[in-house]
Chains A and B, each alone.
Chain A
Amino acid sequence: MVFLDFEQPLESLYEQLEKIQQVGQEGDVDVSVMVRELENKIKNKRKEIYSNLTGWQKVQLSRHPERPYTLFYIKQMCRKFTELHGDRYFKDDKAIVGGLASLDGQTIVIIGHQKGINTKMRQYRNFGMANPEGYRKALRLMKLAERFGFPVVTLIDTPGAFPGMEAEERGQAEAIARNLLEMAQLRVPIVCAVIGEGASGGAIGIGLGDRVYMLENTWYSVISPESCSSILWRSWDFKEQAAEALKLTADHMFEFGLIDGIIKEPLGGAHTAPEEMAKILKKQIKKAIAEIQELTIDEMIETRINKYASMGVYDVVEPLKEEESDKKVKA
């Protein structure tokens, strides 16, 4: 087990538990009462820690090395899955995966950022940072879904689109922008869920949909807390403050009306019970698809666009009385 810094009290309780269990195995002492007591203690401690997580702690959880990634969820949720590769123009991006799947008999196209599970695979997946061909592969698969009327599901988990030289040459910005435009008009339901990190353009590049959810311990922001710290505080040391200031947690995002719902995680985070997490996620995705399918296609697209059109907060000030006469003078 990997413990995060704020989980230290749990780590020592687990150590005690292990020791007692060992004693129980070795000798004739009955430790069952002590074990039960400790297990209760662990449960309560976990509740205590997890009921009060800060923004930064949730960022840490979203990056937990044991956290389930896209391919795990796909395999858990879908009876069949056939991965489809390549953008048909340049190559196959390993940081975004996608393909055809069967969700309890319904064919869907499912796409997501993919991180690696060990050092070698993290390199292979480019740490979940996609290049333009990743976004273009995603779009190709979405257009395939559109032609055959399959709902689209996207799972978001990226520290950002890759900031590399070749990414710029091949039009990282254009690839993300194109996806946003096309996803707005896609004639099939789109359900998105942030399952880990939702960093900026790299996240939203596959994240425009009829329903957008966040798992409880994830974040979604225009910039990572670290980069925000380095730009606005001019130092890397203010990531905790930046995480608070950015209000990047699922609670805030839901309160702001920028996501459609929060998906509860098992106590202690998705990684403590990944199969259970996949079940909860699947249930929500199925429910969402069914709800969206109640609309006609045109209603669905109109509702989708209106949802995004209403996102934004600003003040409206009184126009000046003299303004009318002044307007024309400016040129």
Chain B
Amino acid sequence: MGWFKRLKDGIQTATRNKKEAPEGLWYKCESCKEASTMKEMKENFYKCPHCNYHTRINSFDYFSLLFDGPYEELFIDLVSKDHLHFTDLKAYPDRLNEAYRKTQLSDAIAVAHGKINRRPLIVAAMDFKFIGGSMGSVVGERIARAIDFARQNRTPLLIISKSGGARMMESAFSLMQMAKTSAKLSQLAKAGVPYFSMLTDPTTGGVTASFAMLGDINFAEPKALIGFAGPRVIKETIKRDLPEDFQTSEFLLEHGFLDFIVDRKDLKETVSDMVSYFDPQKMDKSKMLEE
């Protein structure tokens, strides 16, 4: 496991250094093509100051945006395994090593526990850069453990989804994570601990068709791509062009699958409001509706 120890050193160093380094650099908006400095971007919650395009950010950026101060990362000791000896054009272990090296992340999701406006919250946030944010056994297990943690500590759970769907290299193990995470969520629901699901750009496939759609509250960042099938597959199936706003957050809100859309600058206050409405620490279970 030497490589992983090195990796973890790398992650820690990278996370520490990242905050200071890139202020002088420029960011060119993917949406409006206007340029901004990284400092402007950071001060604007990593949104384009010209068109409000929400750039894809990583799990640790969300932790910083949400938590009051220090937080504790959980379940980092779980790492992916090539149980199937899966090889396509690349062997799965090589893909994993490349992802560790490029992203300095330990998998496609990170879980942390901390305080939001002085109330406890557990957040599981996905990372698209790690093999497309794909859900394999580690993603499923970290979510399952986050749910257990939320249940045992009666702490609200927020999952931030950002995923292309299944981790194909884990085949049916990946598929079963849909059942696993949903089954675990059913226990959380029974215990009366709230689960907030935030969908960000992009959230598709098995992630949408399991935990991402199962929040007590479902919400999304503006203009995120959210769907079951990918737009390319749908286009090939129906042999027509798709409407402009198809599978966007706004489209899902209109069709009744989201409770609201939140601008990233309001994210912390919105989640904090949700936590305060439900406050499972204070909630009297005897007054809740019986099953």
The docked-state distance in angstroms from the alpha carbon of A242 to that of B88 is 8
Query: A188: CB under 8 A from chain B?
Result: no
Of B88, B171, B213, B242, which contacts A233 at CB under 8 A? B88
Known: A184-B182, A200-B166, A222-B206. A171 touches B257 (CB 8 A): yes
Of A246, A316, A319, A331, which contacts B69 at CB under 8 A? A331
Query: B78: CB under 8 A from chain A?
Result: yes
The stretch of B25-33, B37-45, B79-87 that contacts the partner chain: B79-87
Query: B210: CB under 8 A from chain A?
Result: yes
Complex contacts, B260 vs chain A, CB 8 Å: none
Complex contacts, B1 vs chain A, CB 8 Å: 315, 317-318
Nearest-CB distance from B37 to chain A (Å)?
24
B228 touches A173 (CB 8 A): yes
Nearest-CB distance from B219 to chain A (Å)?
14
Complex contacts, A248 vs chain B, CB 8 Å: 171-172
Nearest-CB distance from A299 to chain B (Å)?
15
Complex contacts, B206 vs chain A, CB 8 Å: 200-201, 222
A-B contact count (CB 8 A): 229
The docked-state distance in angstroms from the alpha carbon of A165 to that of B137 is 30
List B residues 126-174 near A (Cβ within 8 Å): 137-138, 140-141, 144, 166-168, 170-174
Known: A168-B228, A168-B234, A173-B213. A228 touches B179 (CB 8 A): no
Interface size class of B (residues with CB under 8 A): 35 or more
Query: A3: CB under 8 A from chain B?
Result: no
B183 touches A304 (CB 8 A): yes
Query: B118: CB under 8 A from chain A?
Result: no
Query: A167: CB under 8 A from chain B?
Result: yes
The docked-state distance in angstroms from the alpha carbon of A140 to that of B89 is 44
Nearest-CB distance from A221 to chain B (Å)?
6
Nearest-CB distance from A146 to chain B (Å)?
12
A330 touches B228 (CB 8 A): no
Query: B8: CB under 8 A from chain A?
Result: yes
Query: B24: CB under 8 A from chain A?
Result: no
Give the residue name and chain of the B residue nearest to A246 (CB). Answer: B171
- Enumerate the 7 nearest inter-chain pairs by beta-carbon distance, A residue then B residue, closest first: A163-B229, A312-B137, A180-B182, A184-B183, A232-B88, A173-B208, A173-B228
A-B contact pairs, 20 of them (CB 8 A): A163-B234, A165-B242, A168-B246, A169-B255, A174-B257, A177-B182, A177-B210, A201-B178, A222-B175, A247-B172, A256-B83, A258-B176, A308-B183, A312-B138, A313-B173, A315-B80, A316-B77, A317-B77, A330-B16, A331-B114
Seen from chain B, the residues whose Cβ lies within 8 Å of a Cβ on chain A are 1, 4-5, 8-9, 12, 15-16, 60, 63-64, 67, 69-73, 76-81, 83-84, 86-89, 114, 137-138, 140-141, 144, 166-168, 170-180, 182-187, 189-190, 205-206, 208-214, 227-229, 233-234, 237-238, 240, 242, 246-247, 255-257
